[in-house]
Structure 1
């Protein structure tokens, strides 16, 4: 079943996969929570600056003093008091043409406001870089008798917004640690559960055990069908002999022998060198006849030897044929299945199993190879295992498996085995 490679137990691999998945989830969660904290802090800054700016703009003192000769002397203390108690980084009151009346840095009073002044009497919020650096700021109009006589700009620097995130970090850390702890606990439980089922067996050994089971299952079904068909024909031949119709009995047994011999000769003539696969094909041909499906098998004498062990070869071929028989039997007449062993253009072995079934929808072309997924009714034994096992075995041998349509065909390409 391929060369053994050093590997940990299946339980350890399950533990590692779960831990890595949890770590990735926790990292994503931490980033999401931090980004959400940043968004919340910025939203809070926008709401605070808007509320403070609009409140100052309607203060009677601001409305009356902004155009007076003593505007700076009277309004700068008001701005300083608001900055201290409202926890904003600057309050700039200015004239209607944008000349500062107040500022956090008194040296900036009398200079032009750095920012966007709306073209109409509306309140606006923006992010802008001024004398204090990048900030989120809201500017509101000061109205007197419906005319704009000045503006109030209130802002919080981006640095202050970032510092507001710090108190939120313990919550982020506690959530991520809780998720990490739950994930690690799940990983431990998954490892223990896997160990109870598989012990310390490597994952490859478990896959080989599944392959062996699938091989015995599909080969057993094929041989049962072949035995059943052979028994029916023998009973028919005995009945013909009892009726004195000797020639008809001989013809029936001769035809039965001829049909089987043709396939045996095909397998023996080629370089496949695997009588187990030959027995499988004989049995599957009987199964096809039982189910009313026309069967054909074409084995090219020049087809290279398979690199798979008999168990893996039976698993791959048997599961593909089972899948094809199910699809063909469920479809409309004519119902048929065709199996081909040929040499690919690059000298590799090509195994194609095609059928007359409805096929696989494009969106399911990859999902059919997932463990546990099946397009067939739930509850049927073995559903969702066969094609997943086929891909696992083929990938392990360095081959490929693909699906094509019109007609539906599963094509496996494998490196040529040793002669």
Structure 2
């Protein structure tokens, strides 16, 4: 592989190439313009000489009298010598020369017509007998004012070229100075860019950029970068997936991309391991400032998806609670079996059967009674499991006697009821006995009503709105399981279903939910 050229060499080469091309084009343009200007100047100079000769009284009188003394030739030659013109030719209206640098041509007719007989002056390039020249022709009038001929004066192109080439060395000096200045500027620019890129060459910068793009878009963490003005400068693929930014345009501010709410506060504020709940994901956000050489240049937000982990932790927590409850009931059933075995061993079968009927009615009667009032089997099973877990935690969980739900319920209702009951159990866990939680379910006016009350301290009046904010909690943190998500998730689900949730201030927790559902329809 060919070794890539250094940045300084590339800059110097490109700058010099641009300067050389510019100078060549400029030189060509300058030569063309200068040559045209010299031609125009020579033409005007020749015309001025011709007009001066045409105004000379001796020439005018000589042409009118036939110039028998040769005075016109003498005047014309004197003027030609004094002005440096190549020729001064006086011609009468019949085209006969009365003066010429070559005396042999005096008295001979010119080949072209006498054009100045129209009374106007003429300039142009003329291919005469002495060579190409810048020519000026002025009308010649007799003393009485009638047109008597013309005066033709020419300045050879060789003389014009000499004037032009005399200007070339000056142009070359300016060109060389410009090339030298451009070279010095290119070297200074290369050194400055070298410092700005920390000494990295172009191929190294390209490799770093490719590695950066591959890394940022390949990791399973969302990364969002902002500049000092809060504009988006980079969003990787994972961040677009987690935040559902299908077309987040770089250069826009956070306010233009994210609606007002908890997500904007977390992305725009400073903090470590901030919990934010979106419609689909539970995210842990970290926003850190970015400093380069002690100067604040922006900030970077990283996002971790904790949705599956949070679900597993909550499921594990529920299973652990249920396992503890079943373990406690195991001892209770062991005692009951021991009593039965003793009664049977003593031969008291009637007492044993009565005792068995009693404990069977107590264990199955509650389930059947609850199932008769709560039609969704999954919801009834959830409430029975929560009752068992509550009993193990020395909490009395009851479903109110007026609870009735005789139609299918939304799938999200399980999550709503489960989280509200868990929140109530946590609220009364550290309160004095009796600890009670009451759940009420009803279907009226085309809506499902859910009410969960407890005997805990309740929600202070000033925090009724904040309790539904993800990450907010008044409870101590638990290892491995973040707080402040249950009520936020319930609020998100209720709003998504078009319902509403309210909380009454303490003492005593009281949460009421209404979900609009048409009878017989499963959302």
TM-score (norm 2): 0.43
Q: Give the match for residue 120 of structure 2.
A: 122
Deviation at 1:235, TM superposition (A): 9.3
Identify the structure with the greater helix proportion: 1
Call closer, same or farther: CA 1:200–1:84 in 2, change over 3 Å.
farther
Query: Secondary structure of the residue that 1:66 maps to in structure 2?
Result: helix
Q: Give the match for residue 19 of structure 2.
A: 22
C-alpha separation between the residues in 2 aligned to 1:97 and 1:218?
A: 94
C-alpha separation between the residues in 1 aligned to 2:57 and 2:35?
A: 36
8 Å Cα contact 2:114-2:149 kept in structure 1: no
Deviation at 1:16, TM superposition (A): 0.9
8 Å Cα contact 2:73-2:100 kept in structure 1: yes
Q: Give the match for residue 403 of structure 1.
A: none
C-alpha separation between the residues in 2 aligned to 1:91 and 1:112?
A: 15
8 Å Cα contact 2:53-2:151 kept in structure 1: yes
Q: How does 1:402-413 map to 2 (within 5 A)?
A: none
Query: Secondary structure of the residue that 2:148 maps to in structure 1?
Result: strand
Q: Give the match for residue 379 of structure 1.
A: none
* 1:49 corresponds to which of 37, 46, 50: 46
Q: How does 1:7-406 map to 2 (within 5 A)?
A: 7-71=4-68, 73-115=70-112, 117-118=114-115, 120-144=118-142, 145-198=144-197, 201-219=200-218, 220=223, 221-226=236-241, 230-231=281-282, 234=308, 248=411
Query: Secondary structure of the residue that 1:125 maps to in structure 2?
Result: strand
C-alpha separation between the residues in 2 aligned to 1:74 and 1:213?
A: 94
Deviation at 1:173, TM superposition (A): 1.8
C-alpha separation between the residues in 1 aligned to 2:44 and 2:34?
A: 15
Deviation at 1:225, TM superposition (A): 4.1
Worse overlay, 195-204 or 57-66 = 195-204
Q: Which runs of 5+ in 2 are unaligned?
A: 224-235, 244-279, 284-306, 319-378, 386-409, 416-523
Q: Which runs of 5+ in 1 are unaligned?
A: 253-419
Call closer, same or farther: CA 1:217–1:65 in 2, change over 3 Å.
farther
C-alpha separation between the residues in 1 aligned to 2:98 and 2:69?
A: 5
C-alpha separation between the residues in 2 aligned to 1:63 and 1:237?
A: 118
Deviation at 1:216, TM superposition (A): 3.6
For these two proteins, the number of residue pairs brought into alignment is 249
Tell me: higher relative CO, structure 1 or 2? Use CA pairs within 8 A at least 6 residues apart: 1
Call closer, same or farther: CA 1:194–1:87 in 2, change over 3 Å.
same
Query: Secondary structure of the residue that 2:64 maps to in structure 1?
Result: coil
Query: Secondary structure of the residue that 2:118 maps to in structure 1?
Result: coil
Q: Give the match for residue 315 of structure 1.
A: none
C-alpha separation between the residues in 2 aligned to 1:200 and 1:97?
A: 84
C-alpha separation between the residues in 2 aligned to 1:138 and 1:212?
A: 74
8 Å Cα contact 2:77-2:88 kept in structure 1: yes
Deviation at 1:161, TM superposition (A): 1.0
C-alpha separation between the residues in 1 aligned to 2:140 and 2:172?
A: 45
Query: Secondary structure of the residue that 1:65 maps to in structure 2?
Result: helix
Call closer, same or farther: CA 1:182–1:67 in 2, change over 3 Å.
same
Query: Secondary structure of the residue that 2:70 maps to in structure 1?
Result: helix
Query: Secondary structure of the residue that 2:42 maps to in structure 1?
Result: helix
C-alpha separation between the residues in 2 aligned to 1:48 and 1:231?
A: 90
Deviation at 1:53, TM superposition (A): 0.8
C-alpha separation between the residues in 2 aligned to 1:23 and 1:85?
A: 44
Query: Secondary structure of the residue that 1:162 maps to in structure 2?
Result: helix
Q: Give the match for residue 508 of structure 2.
A: none
Deviation at 1:237, TM superposition (A): 5.9
Call closer, same or farther: CA 1:97–1:70 in 2, change over 3 Å.
closer
Deviation at 1:105, TM superposition (A): 1.1
C-alpha separation between the residues in 1 aligned to 2:169 and 2:179?
A: 15
